[in-house]
Amino acid sequence: MIIGFGFGSPLTGLVMLLVTSLLSYALYRAFQKAIRQTLNPDRERERRRAYYLEMREQARRLKEYDLSDEEIEHRLDDEFRG
């Protein structure tokens, strides 16, 4: 969404470009927040738990990034707090 590009002085076009980028970002954040609130938190938590458990198994096969159950729960808590 670019509004005002090519109108007036270059400074005016730059200011309008910055304003539209901030507006686009604000709309994106609002939609992401609305989508996150409509998801079932318990189902989403279980889906992510399964993902992390799968990644842990893959990491064990790679002998790197081995997460414990406590680290998985900590990551889930961090994701659902913010």
Q: 61 with 71, same domain?
A: yes
User: Same domain for 56 and 30?
Assistant: no
Residue of 36 and 77 predicted with greater confidence: 77
Average pLDDT over residues 22-40: 85
- Per-residue pLDDT band for 1 (boundaries 50, 70, 90) equals very low
Q: Do 46 and 82 sit in the same domain of this protein?
A: yes
CA distances (Å), origin 73, targets 46, 61, 65:
11, 21, 15
In this prediction, what percent of the chain has a pLDDT beyond 70?
Answer: 84
Domain range for 79: 40-82
Structurally, the chain folds into a number of domains equal to 2
Residue 39 or 72, more confident: 72
pLDDT the model gives residue 33: 80
33 and 45: one domain?
A: no
pTM: 0.41
In this prediction, residue 23 carries a pLDDT of 95
C-alpha triplet 59, 67, 70: angle, nearest 5°: 160
